[in-house]
Amino acid sequence: MALRDVFISLSENKILNSAAQKYGLRMGAQSVVAGTNLQEVVKTIKELNQSNISCTVDNLGEFVFEKSEATAAKNNILEVIQAIHDEQLDAHISLKPSQLGLDIDYDFCYENLKEIVALAHQYDIFVNFDMENYARLQSSFDLMNALHNEFDNVGTVIQAYFFESEENIEKYKNFRLRIVKGAYKESESVAYQSKSDIDRNYLKLIEYHLLHGKFTSIATHDHNVINHVKQFVQQHNIPNDKFEFQMLYGFRKEIQLALAKEGYNFCTYLPFGNDWYGYFMRRLAERPQNLTLVTKQVFNKKTNLAIGLGTTAFLLGRLSKRGK
């Protein structure tokens, strides 16, 4: 778990996050984000749609503590929703409540979210509430529940490393849910710490929601999990329209295309914007095997001194300390 902890620490480093925003494109960040503006995202969605791949779009943002920043994020998301409708794209929205003001003021965040969900509802576009760390867990559920009283186009994420996830997946079985392992550093008082425990609970949650839930998004790059799900849905006669596989943009493209060709619903998670660094480090924390993608796709440019070398030094330093 040491490497996972290092990536989580990297995701929370504001200096490296700021540097990534400045130098990201010159580092090859376009291999892990779907663009930095709306036009680029629309182009990427259209290309994936041509391969029968749906998309969920995430307007990236970290460390939002000013109302002006949250309002700007809201307006960006509204523009994406409008573009999805105008261009008739097969896509929906993923968002983080903290980016819309959860860490500033609950009511302010709620109003921002309501504006987003209302427009999406008008166009029959789904909005997924991405879950963050444990400190924000209950307030995020509360926001979704409040909006669900008025709108039926909201769903959320269940993180397998939390002890209470089994209770939550039963509580929210009538929602569309994305099942993930979890990508934040959490206390042993609230979350499983070992990979084997997390993996075991992950499959347990997937199976429960496939059998009892409304719609299941299975977010994984692991072919073993994918094969397990394929066998499980066959054994239990679960129709394809009850679930989808999800992967991140830029990861295992050949498998994404293959699953779509096999007739499974497939959705690519499309992050966009300059604020990509924290997001990507958390994805590596979820699955450290993807470190090779960092080396090949992000830190292989001559202009990587600002982040590539800085990140490598930080990473090696942390690993060295843990090895003593």
- Catalytic residue annotation: 130, 178
Residue 47, classed as helix, strand or coil, is helix
CA angle 75, 77, 82 (to 5 degrees): 95
Sign for the CA dihedral angle at 324, 194, 226, 215 comes to negative
- The SS3 of residue 270 is strand
Please, are residues 93 and 81 in contact by the beta-carbon 8 Å criterion?
yes
Residue 177 sits at φ, ψ, to 5 deg, of -125, 140
Strand partners, 84: none
How far apart, in Å, are the Cα atoms of 274 and each of 24, 36, 102, 266?
Answer: 7, 6, 21, 26
**22 vs 172: CA distance, rounded Å:** 40
Q: CA nearest 269: which of 137, 151, 157?
A: 157
DSSP assignment letter at 162: B
The amino acid occupying position 96 is K
CB 151 within 8 A of CB 113: no
Q: What Å distances lie between residue 268 and 5, 27, 43, 295, 298, CA to CA?
A: 26, 22, 14, 22, 19
Helix orientation angle between 195-212 and 223-235, rounded to the nearest 10 degrees: 30
**Taking CA 240 as the corner, what is the angle to CA 183 and CA 169, rounded to the nearest 5 degrees?**
40
Token pair for residue 143?
């926001």
